[in-house]
Structure 1
């Protein structure tokens, strides 16, 4: 292995001590990492080494892709340099077990690349010293990785089966108390349940979720973990199957195999199944209970009604990096500006936006004064438009009868003057 660097005063090999725990839920004091570091210190002393630096990741998983382990990353950086930030030389690593360091092939490769980046390094565990440069040392690491991966899969399957078995028996979800129920997760909360029932009725009646959330905030309502209600959390509360007594698992309703009917939970429902289906049908794909994302199915065939006049009619005119035009839909959203209460923003690239009221004025002018191919609507229709007597859907139908869409060119940064020529109609 070459000439091992030693600590000059003691003649011992300086090594880095690493410890990791996956969870620290109960005591939250880092005792698991602390105990491992003590064992590492004993193993280092028994094998002629001295701990030069300590690294500990408390409550950090090593089996999940993308999981962050800052101390592990710092260890690899110091190994690659050969010394710590304060100049302590590192000639190896000591750890209680391989699976504390790595449970994924990517981490094994990263660790061995850093450890063997310089000659003469060693790896120490309670069983003794291992040569990371030899074939046997590498095979031992691979064998421990295989064992860790197999253990992770077995534990994951057992945990999944355990949750499924609880679910089919109607046992409530674990975790924080759901909004609308008391701490036992069975008995409804008299105040919160009334709010949920009213919110479901209001939403089915056409009330916006943002308005419901605003109403809750005005009443001083907070979530079960202290957060302020917003549109997303109110949507999740109303569309969760638990509100009507149904049990779901991994985003899907659980069904009784013999009857095909939904599994009923052991808790008291807040609304009826028909009310729950009705409120779910008011949301578009991606808004249903545990489903999140564009691929989520709807419970109802209706599309969500548009809330802004030009939503989807305006198209992005920004150019992509390859020179093509984005042409993505501009969707309405609330704006913070006092001059423009809402704006239209490109949903695809996000590089094009326009004032909502000003864009709506342009569309109105296009419909009633500038159409080169179709007859101008009667003045009576225009008067009803201006008086607010036409519904949003009726106004949108008038617009789309005249134009296919409008392409909006991006504005010039720093130019606050309104340029109506940015909106270019595509006539029918």
Structure 2
């Protein structure tokens, strides 16, 4: 009795998926395939010694590894099984590369048994192997055509604002249209808090304390930690303000972690609104995205260190009055009176390139700067003198024109007036300009929202702000805090602390 393997596969076993937790391992359609292969084995006089099951695993995607198919190849190579039974050639292979791997093994082992239940494929003959290659090629073309049609359909649905399938997004109920009773409010507060200075890391800590976990692939509640990237993705999701996005699966895979604000669907130059309830306004969402973008850019350019939350208020703001080098926070030695009383100080460190000529206790200096800032806030509330009006719409005309130019280039390519290569060059240049203008627009919206958020209650709310939120507020008005040298042993002298205000901020 010749030992052979039996290989079964279904791309998506929908019948079982809704009813069983282990739908990847078993399924009605797979079970039927094995039943038919058992009957074929009896007819051929061979014995099925191993079963290979790639249920819910497509064969036409080169990015997806079929584990049991790879195990089958190994077993055929080393002779553990001396043949393979399968239901139809398209269950076994749907790519020319996989067909060639199978054919090679049967060419090297002419006594191997390779038969299909349906379709008549016999891998022990040259004709059968040639047919497998042809069928795999045709199967690959069918997969490609199906993906193209699905992509076109999904893009059309996106342009009409229709909701797309997928797991329940954080902030919405199971119907994916109405808002979740508690999550939506937490998401709204987080989006509004980002432009005010709260960091993604601080929001993550708050959500973990509230017991929130990832909503996708949650197998065992309580075992998954909410990741920083997950929180950021929720905050920048255009869905929050009702915008519809579209990103083909192939591009999503290539982008790895796509920046979804760049994939908002536009029609006639305007964002397409989805058919679900929005959590915040487009302006509030844009302010949140622009703030996160600016923080990322500052880290890349070396203007800010990567941190999930700010610990010291004046880090990056305070400078040495002697050499202008940024002062760094520095803990006093434990056990000293200064450590017990103040905890930390700001110093011009020679190890980082400073002159070492200035050191000042931290808490008193921070308190003095905060008092000066709040005094200016009280003086300026209700006045707009000297403030330049922020116009976030100044790029809208150009953005609409870019969409028209992209359509014109595509039309010229279809009419064969320009080559594909030239069209792609023009389109990529226009898309780059569009992304940059959208980024600038979000920055303007963020500045406008932050200005609007300065309310008469700011001095009273100040105590409840985190260090990050306070720091953002200070940076909007204060350019630097110059700390001038003091004699050794002298008490803290406020006159040696100079606040340099941003022009127009005082």
Sort the TM-score into its range (normalised by shorter chain).
0.5 to 0.7
Aligned twin of 1:86 = none
* Post-superposition offset of 1:72: 1.4
Paired residue total: 317
Cα contact 1:112–1:132 (8 A) shared by 2? no
1:254 pairs with one of 253, 265, 272: 265
* C-alpha distance in structure 1 between counterparts of 2:94 and 2:277, whole Å: 42
- Check whether the contact 2:121–2:128 (CA below 8 A) recurs between aligned residues: no
Bigger RCO (CA 8 Å, 6+ sep): 2
Deviation at 1:153, TM superposition (A): 0.7
Rounded Cα–Cα distance in structure 2 between residues aligned with 1:201 and 1:371: 36
Q: CA distance change for structure 1 residues 245 and 119 in 2, over 3 Å: closer, same or farther?
A: same
Q: Which residue of 1 aligns with 2:76?
A: 79
Give the 3 Å change call, closer, same or farther, for CA 118–264 of structure 1 in structure 2: same
Match of 2:5 in 1: 16
Shift of 1:187: 1.6
TM-score (norm 1): 0.64
Partner of 1:242: 239
Partner residue in 1 for 2:394: none
Q: Deviations over 1:382-423 (max 9, x none)?
A: 3267966497999x999xxxxxxxxxxxxxxxxxxxxxxxxx
> Which position in structure 2 is the counterpart of 1:168?
159
Gaps in structure 2 of 5+ consecutive residues: 17-22, 248-259, 310-327, 334-345, 370-470, 482-506
User: How far 1:201 sits from its partner (Å)?
Assistant: 1.1
CA deviations on 1:253-296 (whole Å, 9 max, x unpaired) are: 1111xx31111111111111111110001123xxxxxxxxxxxx
1:200 aligns with 2:177: no
Summarize deviations over 1:321-341 as a string: whole Å, max 9, x none. Answer: xxxxxxxx996689xxxxxxx
> How far off is 1:68 after superposition?
2.5
Q: Is the 8 A contact 2:176 2:276 kept in 1?
A: yes
With the length of structure 2 as denominator, give the TM-score of the two structures. 0.54
Conserved in 2, the CA contact under 8 Å of 1:82 and 1:118?
A: no
Per the alignment, residue 102 of structure 2 pairs with: 111
Cα offsets for 1:171-226 (capped at 9, x unmatched): 22311211212222222223221111110111110101111121122223345455
| Whole-Å separation in 1 of the counterparts to 2:29 and 2:350 | 75
The structure whose residues are more often helix, as a share, is 2
Q: Deviations over 1:41-96 (max 9, x none)?
A: 2233344544343222111121222423222122112211212xxxxxx4322111
1:122 aligns with 2:113: yes
Structure 1 residues 224 and 370: CA distance shift in structure 2, 3 A: closer
Tell me the equivalent position of 2:360. Answer: 383
Contact 1:239 1:280 in 2 (8 A): yes
Match of 2:34 in 1: 37
The residue number in structure 1 matching 2:229 is 232
